[in-house]
Amino acid sequence: MFGVLFEQAADGQRYIDWLLSGLGWTLALAFFGWWIAFGIGIVVGVGRTVQNRFFALPARLYVEIFRNIPVLVQMFLWYFVFPEVVPSAIGDAIKQIPPPWASFFPALLCLGLYTASRIAEQVRAGIEALPKGQLEAANALGLSGYLTYRHVIVPQALRLIVPSLTSEVMGIYKNTSVALTIGLMELTAQARQISEATFQTFTAFGAATIVYLCLALIAYQAMALIDRAVRIPGSAPATLPADQDLSGEVQQGALPGAMEAAK
């Protein structure tokens, strides 16, 4: 069934090479986008929980804006609108970027900033789920606000949200496909191109689907490993309170099923 993938395409490459190149872009986008998202997400998530309005208000605005505009629209904003609204010198420089990168960087920025808003909400939920006594104990020891967050609050909150971060990892690699709308030839785009070149739609989409399923499995396993690695000795698996927990479980639920399906 997948034999067609090893035939030569018009450009001299095999179709499987198209798929692999697509996978490369997908992985690059998901990987670098994740670290942008993780970094910004922690900062913004912390900002959502502090008393100081100077931090809390921008953090709230950030989350509202980036979470409530569809990824595809944000993609267009970075790709089409951003170069036009910045000073023209910068705008012109952006337009000089050669093809694959001209799509890659806006997509990276878009996915990173969007996913950051979602991670920020998880971080906030994690922080709010911590017992009040932790903050009080840190205060009583004379730790400053920064030190309290750096050494007491954030390390615990992150452990608490590893399960729900799994769904964000899955979210960002799935959302990489949105980059095809601005011309990035990632996995889904390549699958469509193969389907159009060979008329073997079932094979093309099937191959891409299998690759995505494998990515999901890897992401799930990796996060499960991390969860185990950072678990505090002697304590029960981390859980968030009721409704957070429910959604966490919903998000996690996909993958034990996926493993059964894969067998």
Partner 1 sequence: MNALDFSIVAQSWPYLWSGLLFSLSLTAAAFAIGMILGTCLALAQHFEIPLVAQIIRGYVAIIRSIPLILVLFWFFFLVPIVLGHLSGNGRPIPIGATYTAFITFGLFEAAYYSEIIRVGLRAVNKGQFEACQALALSTYDTYRHIVLPQVLRVASPIILSQTIILFQDTSLVYVLSLTDLLGAASKLAQLNGRLVEMYLVIAVAYLVISSAASQCVATLRKRYAAAAAR
Partner 2 sequence: MPQATVSNATRPAEIVVVENVMKRFGAFTALNDVTLKVDRGEKIVLCGPSGSGKSTLIRCINHIEKHDAGRIIVDGVELTNRIADINSVRCEVGMVFQSFNLFPHLTVAENCMLAPIKVRGISQSEARDRALDLLRKVRIQDQADKYPAQLSGGQQQRVAIARALCMQPKIMLFDEPTSALDPEMVKEVLETMVELAKEGMTMVCVTHEMGFAREVADRVVFMDRGNIIEEAEPETFFRDPRTERAKAFLNQIIH
Name the site residues for partner 1 (rule: CB under 8 A): 64-65, 67-74, 76-77, 80-81, 84-85, 88, 91, 170, 174-178, 180-181, 188, 191-192, 195, 201-202, 205, 208-209, 212-213, 215-216, 242-243, 246-247, 249-250, 253-255, 257-258, 260-261
Nearer to partner 2, 138 or 219 (CB): 138
Nearer to partner 1, 149 or 212 (CB): 212
CA-to-CA distance for 61 and 251, rounded, in angstroms? Answer: 25
User: Which one of partner 2, partner 1, none interacts with residue 20, CB within 5 to 8 A by kind?
Assistant: none
Alpha-carbon separation of residue 82 from 51, 79, 87 (angstroms):
33, 6, 10
- H or E stretch including 13? none
Nearer to partner 1, 61 or 141 (CB): 61
Count of chain residues binding partner 2 (CB under 8 A) = 22
Minimum separation from the CB atom of position 227 to partner 1 (A): 18
Nearer to partner 2, 152 or 211 (CB): 152
Q: Which ranges constitute the DSSP H helices of 96-148?
A: 99-129, 132-140, 145-147
Site string for partner 2, 125-144 (x = CB under 8 A): ------x-xx-xxxxxxxxx
Instruction: Work out the burial of residue 45: count CB atoms within 10 Å of its CB; fewer than 13 is exposed, 13-18 middle, 19 or more buried.
Output: buried
CB–CB of 129/241 below 8 Å? Answer: yes
User: Which one of partner 2, partner 1, none interacts with residue 90, CB within 5 to 8 A by kind?
Assistant: none
Nearer to partner 1, 10 or 85 (CB): 85
Which CB contacts under 8 angstroms, 24+ apart, belong to 13-19? 15/194, 15/197, 15/198, 15/204, 18/185, 18/190, 18/193, 18/194, 19/187, 19/190, 19/191, 19/194, 19/207, 19/208, 19/211
Please give the residue ranges that form the binding site for partner 2 (CB under 8 A).
131, 133-134, 136-144, 147, 151-152, 155-156, 159, 232-235
